[in-house]
Structure 1
């Protein structure tokens, strides 16, 4: 029997601050989407891995970050265009709501300021600073970080993750996203499930299965007009496969993907179906940390009951 994992890149403005022209609709939708998702997860009692940009845990800063080894200009938008947009730079209220939810969500890291770890200009010093700072702030909130989601899925410096006590990370989908993913699954009949593996650094790699907002724009509108939301259909396909086979169906998204009510309906339909199949079968919902604990093994067995611990 398989399981379902949902991971979220929770970033508000930090997901776009380095872009010349940030997508305004999604920038403004971050807070809305975050709140909608928290409500939906509570309604259907679905835990998720919330990978949060560390800067969001702050309630103020000068925008300078003089002790941070980021490239020149990295924090420029925070100091200029978004200087008066605290709603994009900080999110302690949203983080608090997440931690106080009646659902047992996982708090994970999405770096401190959304640095791309796989880029040549991101040296080890910067990677260490991004992780150390995000873990330090999380500790101030009494949160122990075990999972990491790479900004823009740009994998790099995995040794730094291991050195900082991270146990799991999300890698890219083996089938890709959007149209390519749908072609591979429906035409080539490939499995949508993924298998976690332990890499050479002892980290558990939990690949994504699908990006829930990888089929958008006119193509989505046309598909919905003649059939149904294609991503809902794909999610049901993955949930059904996880309910009958071994492996993980790993969905991911950003809160800022929920820009309109039709996006809310997509998520509601997916979570309602997940809840239904969970009640009908032995299907489980796991966080990334849950998967890592399971994969890294059972340390001892006493009185017939396994005791699981981090290696």
Structure 2
């Protein structure tokens, strides 16, 4: 029996504060998308790894963070004419609702302020501050996170995570890159057959468990989605169902992920609801199990300890 993992990058406004052009519709809907997704998890009893930006766990701040070793200007968006509203800077109850849920969610981290770990300005000192402060904010609320998602999946400074007791992270997933990317994505969405990516979590050279991603649930959007879906159906939903079936037939992991703020329209919501409906049915058939990243990490470590070998 295989395993399905779902992880959610919970960041509200922090995922966009460094961008010149911000997706205003997603920002305006960020809290509603978070609540709706949490309610869907509750409805279907689907445990999820919520990778939360640490600043969201704070009750308040001065908007400056002058003792944080990030480059000058990193926190400018917290004040001034272009400041994020409080509703996008602090969770204000959203994380509490997840903790108090009847579902046994995994509360992980997504750094303190969404610093990109592979950026040249992200020194070891900055990485330590991002992990350490996020942990401090979480522990002040009685949480002890061990799962981690790198902002924009830009992986670096893994040794810093290990030094702070983080156990696992989401590894990079498949992507279509290079010349002809748009045409090849269209081909996969319409006529080409793309096998679902069933992954094998493993203990890496930093001593962390890498739980690689399989599918980003909003990887085919915009005009292409509007053109393809009426004729061929939703390609992401189709791929998600095939991945769940593949996990049911194999001893591996199918790891889907999203940002709650991806859920903006009724069409977006219906996609995720259809994924959950199908996953719930396959789970009830005892064909597949649903686990969080921390559960998968614990199982992977136990296997690693028993065999002494880390699969590649």
Residues 170-227 of structure 1 deviation map (CA, whole Å, 9 limit, x = unaligned): 1111355996497399746544211111111110111100100010011111222113
2:6·2:257 contact (CA, 8 Å) conserved in 1?
yes
Distance 1:55 1:231, change over 3 A: same
1:174·1:209 contact (CA, 8 Å) conserved in 2?
yes
1:127·1:160 contact (CA, 8 Å) conserved in 2?
yes
Partner of 1:263: 268
TM-superposed CA distance for 1:93, in Å, is: 1.0
Measured in 1, the distance between the counterparts of 2:83 and 2:194 equals 49
Partner of 1:105: 105
Aligned length: 301
Measured in 2, the distance between the counterparts of 1:198 and 1:238 equals 23
Residues 37-87 of structure 1 deviation map (CA, whole Å, 9 limit, x = unaligned): 011111111000000000001121110101100110000111124546100
Determine helix, strand or coil for the equivalent of 1:92: coil
Measured in 2, the distance between the counterparts of 1:119 and 1:181 equals 31
2:4·2:253 contact (CA, 8 Å) conserved in 1?
yes
Determine helix, strand or coil for the equivalent of 1:15: coil
Compare 242-251 and 182-191 and name the one that shifted more: 182-191
Measured in 1, the distance between the counterparts of 2:83 and 2:110 equals 22
Measured in 2, the distance between the counterparts of 1:207 and 1:96 equals 28
Determine helix, strand or coil for the equivalent of 2:70: coil
Distance 1:55 1:81, change over 3 A: farther
1:64·1:75 contact (CA, 8 Å) conserved in 2?
yes
Partner of 1:35: 35
Distance 1:201 1:27, change over 3 A: same
1:231 maps onto 2:239 in alignment = no
Give 2:253's match in structure 1, choosing from 248, 261, 268.
Answer: 248
TM-superposed CA distance for 1:282, in Å, is: 3.5
5 Å-filtered alignment, 1:129-140, equals 129-140=129-140
Structure 2 residues not aligned, in runs of 5+: 307-312
2:213·2:256 contact (CA, 8 Å) conserved in 1?
yes
Measured in 1, the distance between the counterparts of 2:16 and 2:281 equals 36
Normalised to the residue count of structure 1, the TM-score between the two structures is 0.92
2:216·2:257 contact (CA, 8 Å) conserved in 1?
yes
1:220 maps onto 2:229 in alignment = no
1:280 maps onto 2:294 in alignment = no
Residues 221-277 of structure 1 deviation map (CA, whole Å, 9 limit, x = unaligned): 122211321111111010010011111100000011001111110110000000000
Measured in 2, the distance between the counterparts of 1:121 and 1:277 equals 45
Normalised to the residue count of structure 2, the TM-score between the two structures is 0.91
Measured in 2, the distance between the counterparts of 1:182 and 1:2 equals 28
Cα RMSD of the aligned pairs, angstroms, is 2.1
Structure 1 residues not aligned, in runs of 5+: 302-311
Measured in 2, the distance between the counterparts of 1:73 and 1:103 equals 39
Measured in 1, the distance between the counterparts of 2:274 and 2:41 equals 12
